[in-house]
Amino acid sequence: MSVKVVKFGGSSLADANQIKKAAEIIKADPERRFVVPSAPGKRFPEDVKVTDMLYTCYEKASLRQNFDKDFEKIKQRYQEIISGLGMQFSLEKEFAEIQEQLATSGREYAASRGEFLNGKIIAEYLGFTFIDAAEVIVFDDEGMMLRKETRAKLRERLKGIHAAVIPGFYGKSLSGVVRTFSRGGSDVTGSLVARALHASVYENWTDVSGVLVADPRVVENPVVIPVITYKELRELSYMGFSVLHEDAIFPVRTVGIPINIRNTNKPEDAGTLIIADNDAEETSLRTITGIAGKKGFYAINMEKAMMNSEVGFVRDVLNVFADMGILVEHMPSGIDTLSIIADAEAIRGKEEQLLSALRKAVNPDVLELEPDIALLAVVGRGMRKTRGTAARIFASLAHARINVKMIDQGSSELNVIVGVNGHDLHQAIRCIYDAFVSSTLV
Ligand code: ASP
């Protein structure tokens, strides 16, 4: 029987009611046998996530301040969940142990208890085996997860187990210390479990019905992307789409397990399916899969007569950036012109130093620094087989009177990156959305 690994985020498990919804989803499909829960998240916008409450307790404990009241609040949240689920189940023993160890077992141990306790409750509620992630997710002593060791432990421990709950976010180091991934890391645990079990799909249940074509704060009611490839997602994530923890992609991507982003509050929605690049033929509905944008770049523009015949010019320019530790994001060029696009934060305060180093290194005829550049990525595997996409992008920008500062098309023909003034970014996203998406909606 094939297996589906289901990971539920904090908002999907924030209280008893949400956990009931998650349990219904799990029970609705007998293949949903391995569950990776987050800690209880926010129930309402001003609420505090249990993970954050645990960090607060740890801060106080490590300063030898009294944290009883804060810990009491955490206990209360779990008690409410237990009674809301109508269970006869006690976590008193676990609470006492955590309270005792909180100051001495480290910050990551403290944070991990949110998932640990939630996992205990959910396993009991579902009647599934509880498997402590400390037994199966292996870290080195620097806090890096060890892939091979983790896969081996997971396979060994999960052998013969029909259904289990494995809390997300944490594991244990080789020397026995509890370690966590960075924030949002339960996504990574889910991916590792899916990989170890050769799952048919990794379902990631959250509070949105999938990945949207554009940021809903910019475009009103954007449509959901039904199918996206890992590569496309990477392009969009780089430009600010936040869908999954970055490290959650790799384990499943390498073996081609699809990820399905689903909405716990609307399980009837199909969500977004993230698939391997070569499985994506003919699956694109539209030329464009997503549009993302990011502000906060500088453009450093250089012009020099006969630049094209000066050997080493680009290398010398790049050396200046490398020596100053500035990451180069894009480098559009002409015959006698070269622009470097870099993160404004990395340059701020060092503008003069950078310009004089460039003057010294390559002695350009013109050298200027243009602040407030935004980059816009138009991403879509459908572009490869559609002619005239670039023309449509630029026609729609021209129509909206948006000045294009830079154009960069990746060789994969998967994306077109356009530089515009920061204040034009939102308008640019909206007009491209209208041209490619709104026009296809009936
Ligand atoms: N509970 C952790 C956090 O809040 C991990 C997770 O939810 O994925 O970041």
Whether the Cβ atoms of residue 264 and residue 205 lie closer than 8 Å to each other: yes
List, for residues 2-14, the tens digit of each pLDDT value. 999 999 999 999 9
For residue 379, what pLDDT is reported? 94
Q: Which helix (H) or strand (E) holds 61?
A: helix 50-62
Whether the Cβ atoms of residue 123 and residue 129 lie closer than 8 Å to each other: yes
Residue 116, ligand 1, Cβ within 6 A: no
Q: Which of 207, 216, 138 is nearest to 170 (CA)?
A: 138
Q: Which of 17, 69, 23 is nearest to 43 (CA)?
A: 17
String of DSSP letters for 277-311:
GGG-TT--SSS--EEEEEEEEEEEEEE-TTGGG-T
Residue 243, pLDDT > 90, answer no
For residue 439, what pLDDT is reported? 77
For residue 442, what pLDDT is reported? 61
For residue 74, what pLDDT is reported? 98
For residue 240, what pLDDT is reported? 84
Residue 49, ligand 1, Cβ within 6 A: yes
DSSP state of 224: B
Arithmetic mean of pLDDT, 48-53:
98
From 13, 54, 77, 115, the mutation candidate for ligand 1 (largest count of ligand atoms within 8 A of CB) is 115
The rounded Å distance from CA 288 to ligand 1 centre is: 32
| Confidence tier at 426 by pLDDT (50, 70, 90) | very high
The rounded Å distance from CA 187 to ligand 1 centre is: 8
| Confidence tier at 285 by pLDDT (50, 70, 90) | low
Q: Which residue is associated with the tokens 């030329």?
A: 287
Detail the DSSP E strand segments found in 128-245.
129-130, 138-139, 164-165, 170-173, 178-180, 201-206, 227-229
Whether the Cβ atoms of residue 195 and residue 255 lie closer than 8 Å to each other: yes
The rounded Å distance from CA 13 to ligand 1 centre is: 11
The rounded Å distance from CA 8 to ligand 1 centre is: 10
The rounded Å distance from CA 55 to ligand 1 centre is: 12
For residue 281, what pLDDT is reported? 63
List, for residues 191-204, the tens digit of each pLDDT value. 999 999 999 999 99
Amino acid at 281: E
Q: Which helix (H) or strand (E) holds 407?
A: strand 406-409
Q: How many CA atoms, within 13 angstroms, populate the side-chain half-sphere of residue 151?
A: 10
290-441 is classed CATH 3.30.2130.10: yes
List, for residues 93-123, the tens digit of each pLDDT value. 999 999 999 989 999 999 999 999 999 999 9
Least confident residue range of 154-163, 183-192, 244-253, 381-390: 381-390
Residue 182, ligand 1, Cβ within 6 A: no
Residue 188, pLDDT > 70, answer yes
Atom of ligand 1 at shortest range from CA of 245: 8
Ramachandran angles phi, psi of 330, nearest 5°: -150, 160
Question: Count of H helices and E strands in the chain?
Answer: 15, 17
Atom of ligand 1 at shortest range from CA of 49: 4
Q: Which residue is associated with the tokens 């909180």?
A: 102
What's the CATH architecture for 4-207?
3-Layer(aba) Sandwich (3.40)
Atom of ligand 1 at shortest range from CA of 10: 7
Residue 185, ligand 1, Cβ within 6 A: yes
Residue 183, ligand 1, Cβ within 6 A: yes
Global confidence as pTM = 0.89
For residue 40, what pLDDT is reported? 98
Look at ligand 1, atom 8, and give the residue with the nearest C-alpha. Answer: 184
For residue 384, what pLDDT is reported? 79
Between residues 239 and 203, the one the model is more confident about: 203
Residue 168, ligand 1, Cβ within 6 A: yes
For residue 283, what pLDDT is reported? 61
Residue 387, pLDDT > 90, answer no
User: Cα(90)–Cα(68) distance, rounded to whole angstroms?
Assistant: 19
The rounded Å distance from CA 186 to ligand 1 centre is: 6
For residue 389, what pLDDT is reported? 87
Whether the Cβ atoms of residue 223 and residue 291 lie closer than 8 Å to each other: no
Q: Which of 219, 209, 230, 211 is nearest to 436 (CA)?
A: 219
User: Cα(434)–Cα(107) distance, rounded to whole angstroms?
Assistant: 47
Residue 426, ligand 1, Cβ within 6 A: no
For residue 234, what pLDDT is reported? 87
Domain layout of the chain by residue ranges: 4-207, 290-441
Look at ligand 1, atom 6, and give the residue with the nearest C-alpha. Answer: 184
- Write down the mean pLDDT value for the chain: 94
The rounded Å distance from CA 111 to ligand 1 centre is: 9
User: Cα(289)–Cα(379) distance, rounded to whole angstroms?
Assistant: 6
The rounded Å distance from CA 262 to ligand 1 centre is: 17
For residue 55, what pLDDT is reported? 97
String of DSSP letters for 188-213:
HHHHHHHHHTT-SEEEEEESSSS-BS
User: Cα(420)–Cα(378) distance, rounded to whole angstroms?
Assistant: 13
